[in-house]
Homo-oligomer: A and B are copies of this chain.
Amino acid sequence: MSRMSFSLLASDAGARRGRLDFPRGEIQTPAFMPVGTYGSVKAMTPRDLHASGAQIILGNTFHLFLRPGLEVIAAHGGLHRFTGWNGPILTDSGGFQVFSLAHRRKISEQGVTFASPVNGSKVFLGARSALAHQGNDAALFGIVQGGTYPALRSRSAAELMQIGFDGYAVGGLAVGEPEAERNAMLEHTCPQLPADKPRYLMGVGRPEDIVEAVARGIDMFDCVMPTRNARNGHFFTRFGTVRIRNARYEHDLAPIDPQCTCYACASGFSRSYLRHLDRCNEILGSILGTIHNLHYYQELMAQIRAAIEAGRFAAFREDFYQRRSGVV
Contacts and interface: CB of A to CB of B under 8 A. Distances in A.
Interface of A: 38-40, 42-47, 67-68, 71-72, 75-76, 81-84, 250-251, 253, 263, 267-270, 272-273, 275-277, 279-280, 282-288
Contact of A82 (B68, B270, B282, B287): B270
A284 B75 contact: no
Given A43-B284, A283-B42, A287-B287, A251 B72 contact: yes
B40 A277 contact: yes
A251 B74 CA distance: 10
A72 B276 contact: yes
A34 to B, nearest CB: 13
B263 A47 contact: yes
Contact of A269 (B43, B68, B84, B275): B84
A267 to B, nearest CB: 6
Contact of A284 (B45, B82, B280): B45
Ordered nearest first, which 5 A-B pairs have the shortest CB separation? A43-B283, A68-B276, A40-B284, A38-B280, A40-B282
A75 B251 contact: yes
A45 B273 contact: no
Contact of A75 (B75, B272, B280): B272
Contact of A68 (B67, B250, B285): B250
Given A42-B282, A82-B272, 17 more contacts: A38-B276, A38-B277, A38-B280, A40-B283, A40-B284, A45-B263, A45-B284, A45-B288, A72-B276, A75-B253, A75-B272, A76-B270, A81-B268, A82-B270, A82-B276, A283-B283, A283-B286
A288 to B, nearest CB: 7
A286 B283 CA distance: 9
10 contacts: A38-B276, A38-B277, A38-B282, A40-B277, A42-B282, A47-B267, A67-B279, A75-B253, A76-B253, A82-B276
A284 B76 contact: no
A84 B272 contact: no
B276 A67 contact: yes
Contact of A84 (B46, B250, B268): B268
A270 B82 CA distance: 7
Contacts of A40: 277, 280, 282-285
Contact of A250 (B72, B277, B285): B72
A46 B266 CA distance: 13
A276 B39 contact: yes
Nearest to A83: B273
Contacts of A82: 270, 272-273, 276
Contacts of A276: 38-39, 67-68, 72, 82
B76 A272 contact: yes
Nearest to A281: B38
Contacts of A83: 273
A269 to B, nearest CB: 5
Contacts of A268: 81, 84
Contacts of A72: 250-251, 272, 276
A273 B39 contact: yes
